[in-house]
Amino acid sequence: MRHRGQINEVEILLPFERLPASYESRLRALFVHRYEQLYGRGSALAGAQLEFVVCRLRARALTPQPKLVTSRTSSRIIPRKAVSKKRDIYWPDLKKHQPTPVFDGEKLASGNQIKGPAIVETADTTVVVHPGTTLRLDALGNSS
């Protein structure tokens, strides 16, 4: 908070678990007290207009534990629709460029194994499977 038109901002911690209907006078008193701690007694201009500059909220809530659903089927056969294309990629381990399969990770199935070199793309990440390594999808679709 700060005095309207001034640049000096003062952080006030609200002591309420829930904001009461009559919070304004208590909030003003907290501001005046803290302002005068920082800038000296009588400096807070007790009747001046105040303004909020930043408001931070920390909240918590009980949430139900997620129910993880495992795939009932597990297959080592990679679905055709999961193979999107090949890209010519330089692999330092191999010291050369090599046509590398690129997979759509959203279309892979539990139990799939992809031997490197390969690239697996999803909506939020790209997984690089280096030469000599294997990516495996577990029953929950996690890769390792």
Q: Is 10 exposed, middle or buried (0-12, 13-18, 19+ CB in 10 A)?
A: buried
- The answer as to whether 144 is a domain residue is no
Q: Which of 16-20, 44-48, 125-129 has maximum average pLDDT?
A: 125-129
Q: What's the CA gap between 14 and 27, in Å, rounded?
A: 8
How is residue 80 written in tokens?
């055709």
Q: What's the CA gap between 137 and 35, in Å, rounded?
A: 58
- The answer as to whether 107 is a domain residue is yes
Number of domains in the chain: 2
Alpha helices (runs of H) in 17-109, residue ranges in sequence order: 23-39
Show which of 13, 34, 51 is a domain's final residue.
51
- The answer as to whether 69 is a domain residue is no
- The answer as to whether 68 is a domain residue is no
**Same-domain status, 47 and 92:** no
- The answer as to whether 116 is a domain residue is yes
**Same-domain status, 130 and 88:** yes
Taking only the tens place, the pLDDT of each residue in 75-121 is: 778 888 888 889 999 999 999 999 999 999 999 988 899 999 999 99
Q: Is-above-0.75 flag for pTM?
A: no
> What pLDDT score was predicted for residue 142?
81
**Same-domain status, 84 and 39:** no
Buried/exposed code over 130-144 (b: 16+ C-beta within 10 A; e: otherwise): eeeeebebeeeeebe
- The answer as to whether 15 is a domain residue is yes
- The answer as to whether 63 is a domain residue is no
Check whether 72 has a pLDDT greater than 80.
Answer: no
The per-type count for the chain, helices as H runs and strands as E runs, is 1, 8
- The answer as to whether 56 is a domain residue is no
Confidence band for 139, pLDDT divided at 50, 70 and 90: confident
> What pLDDT score was predicted for residue 78?
85
Range of the domain at 45: 2-51
**Same-domain status, 85 and 37:** no
